[in-house]
Amino acid sequence: MGQAQEQKTILQGWGRLTADPHRVVPVPRDGAAFPAEKIFACANGRSYGDAGLNPAALALDARGLDRFLSFDPESGVLWAEAGVLLGTIQRNLLPQGWVLPVTPGTQFVTLGGAVANDVHGKNHGQAGSFGCHVTRLDLWRSDAGVVTCSAQENPELFAATIGGMGLTGIILRVGVALRRVDSGWMATETVPFSGLPAFFNIARSREPLWEYGVGWLDCTRADAPEGVYFSANHSQPGAPVSSSPVTAPAARLSVPFALPVSAVNPLTLRLFNSVYLAAQKRKAGAGVTDMWRYFYPLDAVANWNRLYGRRGFYQYQSVIPWQGAEAATAEMLAAIAGARQGSFLMVLKLLGDRAGPGMMGFAMPGVTLAMDFPNRGDATERLFQKLDTIVLAAGGRLYPAKDARMPAGMFRRGYPRLDEFLKWRDPSISTAMSCRLMGW
Amino acid sequence: MGGTSGIAEACARLWAERGGADFALLGRSSEGLAAIAADLRVRDPAAQVDVVTADLADPETVDATASRFADAGVVLIAFGALPGQAGLQADTRALAESLHLNAVAPVLWAEAFARAAGNRTCRIAVIGSVAGDRGRKTNYAYGAAKSLLATYVEGMQHRFPAGPVIPVIVKPGPTATAMTRHLPPAKLAPVAEVAALVVAGIEKGSPVIYAPAKWRIIMAVLRHMPRFVFNRLDI
């Protein structure tokens, strides 16, 4: 073990903005002594920024905690170790007629990561965030050993841990209530649209009929943004589970190494966006697809984050409350187009009223906008400052899972329960993000 | 055999995900085996998963246990331990125990299962190692034991050229499991990748499975390297 601690491993966020060596050891399965130094948990590295990094601390890799513990087919509650990937749950439980009730846009996040970031999916209006379905957690704390928490037991610690960025203890085990499905097929509707007002009309009108919904937007032209809205429902009875593709298609493409410079520039963006939109428009109307393609379209390109080159990229994801959401979104699109720093993926989703249990959950009723930007240093940061101003003025906030640079003041204003949360932090756990946003 | 071995667990997961298999997990740690059994039951609720606690290095348990599971379609003999070479050079007793655990005990199980299989088709896969392909100063106690396994399985293959027993020797390179936790992670193959090759190779009845496949080439080069060159390598 002593020898392993001397080995250093490069850990990066998904945005690949830094590449610092870390000391990494596995999270022990059995109640070992808590390390006597500053630590943090890391796993599959899908947080974009510095939420899972800290070169000054010992990294505990949770990926080895990858066993299922039990599944109750009556209640649908799965009890599993925190390093199990969401995709592993989908692959193994779909044949039994169960899937995760909430899934983010990649299957390559761990259960622990899904809890720590209180992730949401394309069905927030109906299902709320991931935390709404978490039944129980086992946390390993430096000051109390292994602590079980749920809505009934240690409810404050439970609420602090959901969306708590891994700062309240090492998440060892997670209970999550799955949902029944008839098959892995999704009934879909694809609707092209022009302009932001059209997006809001379509998204609102589809909500009562379609559980899932997401808009993709080409923002290279702010005056007339073109987009496509994808709605979906788990398909109705008649399509048996056994007919479903139960494994994700293997990644069809891969980016084998980081390009020296970003392949994402105004020219390639326009080209990609118009080709992509044209392809989607041809598919306009009703359709059927499998849940892997609907939920995880980007997982088909392994290591797509390398497209942005050696300097990496930022994702900027905001949520703006209903009041003023349309105006603020239009303002943000104008600022981005003005800065000529458009984004490959501009994703717009409505978030619903279902409140999550987490003190620090990101989701709130309103509209969330997510965009990727190649790292161009100061120019990118200047654009973000403009966007920050718009988000703050509209009463919105940014998503820590995606963040690598928001100012501490903006974090504090966006998360009014921060002071309550700080009381539940584990004194031994610290990440680069927690240092940046909370001072330690 | 050696149900808590990282490669065995990863193989069992693949078989469970595919469905249609029942399992008997044998090993020393009842707690460790029970945790793996619970995991497999979630992956395939239709699978029957038995846990048998036994000292696999004890020859007394071999025959009775092999008879009990004589109907096994696949036997994966995966137990073993990676010793520190320097320690064994200094400790005769520990060297004897290590050679027994890594070499003698696995072939006792392979032979007993071959006998128990009778006329039934039985795939017997033994986890060897690339370390068995050529002795190196840093791990020849382990490598020699693994090379005994390879030779033994080769003999069984000669004896059963057309079944019903299908003996397979698996030669993994360094793989990320609990056994290699002290090694630099960058040099280890992901266990799921190794297991996928093992499961596919057992199904095909490949006589020798290198996992990852690149080790077949690397070891071919090392095996054929003249001694005066090889002995200068610091590996």
Together in a domain, A264 and A324: yes
Chain B residues touching residue A69 (CB < 8 angstroms): 35, 38-39, 42
Say if residue A174 is in the same domain as residue A215.
Answer: no
SS (H, E, C) chain A: CHHHHHCEEEECCCCCCCCEEEEEEECCCCCCCCCCCCEEEECCCCCCCCCCCCCCCEEEECCCCCCEEEEECCCCEEEEECCCEHHHHHHHHHHHCEECCCCCCCCCCEHHHHHHCCCCCCCHHHHCCHHHHEEEEEEEECCCEEEEECCCCCHHHHHHHCCCCCCCCEEEEEEEECEECCCCEEEEEEEEEECHHHHHHHHHHHCCCCCEEEEEEECCCCCCCEEEEEEEEECCCCCCHHHCCCCCCCCCEECCCCCCCCCCCHHHHHHHHHHHHHHHHHCCEEEEEEHHHHHCHHHHEECHHHHHCCCCEEEEEEEEECCCHHHHHHHHHHHHHHCCCCCCCEEEEEECCCCCCCCCCCCCCEEEEEEEEECCCHHHHHHHHHHHHHHHHCCCEECHHHCCCCCHHHHHHHCCCHHHHHCCCCCCECCHHHHHHHCC
Residues of B in contact with A302 (CB under 8 A): none
Is A70 close to B36, i.e. CB distance below 8 A?
A: no
Contact list in A for residue B17 (CB cut-off 8 A) is 91-92
The residue of chain B with its CA nearest to that of A247 is: B17
Asked whether residue A259 falls in the same domain as residue A148, the answer is no
Question: Looking at the partner chain, which of A3, A68, A93 has a beta carbon nearest the beta carbon of B182?
Answer: A3
Using a CB-CB distance cutoff of 8 angstroms, which residues of chain B are in contact with residue A24?
A: 185
Q: Which of A113, A148, A181 is where one domain is finished?
A: A181
User: A160 and A302 in one domain?
Assistant: no
Higher pLDDT, B53 or A278: B53
Q: Is A70 on the interface with B (CB under 8 A)?
A: yes
Distances from the Cα of A271 to the Cαs of A185, A220, A344, B189, in angstroms?
A: 31, 10, 10, 39
Q: Which residue has the higher pLDDT, B216 or A253?
A: B216
Point out the residue among A1, A9, A69 whose CB comes nearest to the CB of B185: A9
Total number of domains constituting chain A: 2
**Chain B interface, best mutation among A92, A108, A174, by max B CB count within 10 A:** A92
Question: Chain B residues with CB-CB distance to A under 8 A?
Answer: 17, 19, 35-36, 38-39, 42-43, 45, 181-186
Pairing type for strands A179-180 and A98-99 reads antiparallel
State which amino acid sits at residue A271: L
Q: Does A26 touch chain B (CB under 8 A)?
A: yes
Please answer yes or no on whether A7 and B184 come within 8 Å at the CB atom: yes
To the nearest whole Å, the CA of A4 is away from the closest chain B CA by 5
- Residue A164 belongs to what domain range? 68-181
Chain B contact present for A31, CB below 8 A: no
Is A242 an interface residue toward B (CB < 8 Å)?
A: no
Nearest to A67 among B39, B45, B184 (CB): B39
Confidence at residue A4, expressed as pLDDT on a 0 to 100 scale: 44
Q: Is residue A438 part of a domain?
A: no
pLDDT of residue A252: 62
Report CB contact under 8 Å: A92, B36. Answer: no
CATH of the domain at A393: 3.30.70.2520
The residue in chain A having the minimum alpha-carbon distance to the alpha carbon of residue B178 is A64
Minimal C-alpha gap between B229 and chain A (Å) = 30
- Quick check: A7 and B184 in contact, CB under 8 A? yes
Domain co-membership, A210 together with A170: no
Is the Cβ pair B42, A69 closer than 8 Å? yes
Let me know how long chain A is. Answer: 440
Q: Chain B partners of A70 at a C-beta cutoff of 8 Å?
A: 38, 42
Q: Is residue A397 part of a domain?
A: yes
- Residue at a domain's end among A181, A215, A250: A181
pLDDT tens figures, B150-173: 999 999 999 999 989 999 999 999
- Residue A5: what pLDDT? 44
Interface contact B42-A73, CB threshold 8 A: no
Q: Could you tell me if A5 lies within 8 Å of chain B, comparing CB atoms?
A: no
Spatial contact of A214 and A188, defined as CB atoms under 8 Å apart: no
Rg of the Cα trace of chain A?
A: 21
Q: How far apart are CA A45 and CA B103, in angstroms?
A: 40
Q: What is the pLDDT of residue A1?
A: 37
Nearest-Å Rg of the Cα atoms of chain B is 17
Structural domain includes residue A54: no
Identify the pLDDT of residue A118: 98
Count Cβ–Cβ pairs < 8 Å, chain A vs chain B: 38
Residue A83 lies in a domain: yes
Average pLDDT over residues B212-222: 94
Which residue of chain A has the CA closest to B46?
A96
The CA distance from A202 to the nearest CA of chain B, in Å, is 40
A50: in domain:
no
Check whether residue A308 and residue A202 sit in a common domain.
yes
| Domain at B6-230: CATH code | 3.40.50.720
Instruction: Return the residue in A7, A72, A172 with the most chain B beta carbons within 10 A, the one to mutate for interface testing.
Output: A7
Walk along chain A (440 residues) in steps of 10 and give the mean pLDDT of each run.
61 95 90 90 96 96 96 97 97 94 97 98 97 98 96 98 98 97 91 92 94 89 82 77 64 72 74 76 84 89 86 95 94 86 81 95 96 92 96 97 97 97 98 97
- A200 and A296 fall within a common domain: yes
Nearest chain A residue to B176, by CA: A64
Find the closest chain B residue to A81 by CA distance.
B39
Residues A365, A244, single domain; the answer is yes
Each domain of chain B, given as residue ranges in start order, spans 6-230
B183–chain A nearest CA distance, Å: 7
Q: Which residue of B has its CA nearest to A3?
A: B182
CATH number at residue A74: 3.30.465.10
In terms of domains, do A151 and A259 share one?
Answer: no
Residue A346 domain flag = yes
Q: How far apart are CA A359 and CA A374, in angstroms?
A: 31
Q: Does A8 touch chain B (CB under 8 A)?
A: no
Say if residue A367 is in the same domain as residue A312: yes
Q: What is the mean pLDDT of residues B122-137?
A: 96
A242 plus A265 within the same structural domain: yes
Q: State how beta strands A313-321 and A366-374 pair.
A: antiparallel
Choose one of A153, A181, A209: the last residue of a domain.
A181
Predicted local distance difference test score (pLDDT) of residue B45? 96
Of A3, A26, A92, the CB nearest to B42: A92
Q: Are residues A101 and A242 in the same domain?
A: no
The answer to whether the CB atoms of B39 and A92 lie below 8 A apart is: no
Residue of A nearest to B15 (CA): A92
The partner residue sitting opposite B43, judged by closest CB among A3, A26, A68, is: A68
Interface contact flag, B42 A7, Cβ < 8 Å: no
